[in-house]
Amino acid sequence: MTVTVVCPGSYDPMTNGHLDVIVRAARRFDRVIVAVVANPSKQPLFTLEERVGLITAEVDRLVAAGDIDAGSIDVAHFDGLLVDFCRQQQVGIVCKGLRGVGDFDAELQMAQMNARIGDIETIFVATRPDHSYLSSSLIREIARLDGPVTGMVPAAVERALIERVRGT
């Protein structure tokens, strides 16, 4: 049996914490679909195409470096309910990172709701301790205020962030 999981998110932008969870999921399951939500609740800094492109480039880089198998991670996008995307992909497991108790309530609620409305099982991966304080929103804020984000996001994401906030 081949087990595929969906790692959904806004990825605005993808952080090293996201990437670590995705890669660890890819090593435990046969295939991971990174599902980028088209319309996050807040106006995104990066367009859907940019968010998908940055993740795809990072996955390609990891494949080229031999860190993950080719074809083990696909990047897709969705609009609407996550459970509908999972049904279209014929996947019954969602995999998400959990940074700490701050994430827990909302994540548990979503997991239970997705189980109720779509029969989706959610599996949580404990974030690495040195990634537990990373969040896309904090990283966007720090970049906007000209602070350092090196080591918090992949290098290509850092370059894209700096370009976007400086408007160059």
Residues labelled as active-site residues: 18, 42, 99, 136
Contact yes or no for 48/155 (Cβ under 8 A): no
Nearer to ligand PNS, 29 or 63 (CB): 29
27's CB contacts (< 8 A; 6+ apart) are 68
Stretch that binds ligand PNS, among 8-16, 21-29, 64-72, 151-159 (CB under 6 A): 8-16
Would you put residue 150 in left (φ > 0), alpha (ψ -120 to 50) or beta?
Answer: beta
Nearer to ligand PNS, 85 or 143 (CB): 85
Nearer to ligand PNS, 36 or 59 (CB): 36
Q: Please state, in angstroms and as integers, the Cα–Cα distance from residue 54 to each residue in 21, 106, 124, following that order.
A: 16, 26, 24
Give residue 122's identity as a one-letter amino acid code: T
CB of 37 to ligand PNS, least distance (A): 4
> Pattern 74-103, binding to ligand PNS, x per CB under 6 A?
-------xx---------------------
**Binding residue for ligand PNS, selected from 6, 7, 10, 154, defined by CB under 6 A:** 10
Nearer to ligand PNS, 5 or 82 (CB): 82
Tokens of 35: 């599902």
User: Would the CA dihedral through 24, 89, 103, 156 be positive or negative?
Assistant: positive
Give residue 25's identity as a one-letter amino acid code: A
**Binding residue for ligand PNS, selected from 24, 40, 74, 135, defined by CB under 6 A:** 40
Q: Over the range 31-40, which residues count as b (16 or more CB within 10 Å of their CB) and which as e?
A: bbbbbbbeee
108 touching ligand PNS, by CB under 6 A: no
37 touching ligand PNS, by CB under 6 A: yes
Binding site for ligand PNS (CB under 6 A): 8-10, 37, 40, 81-82, 110, 113-114
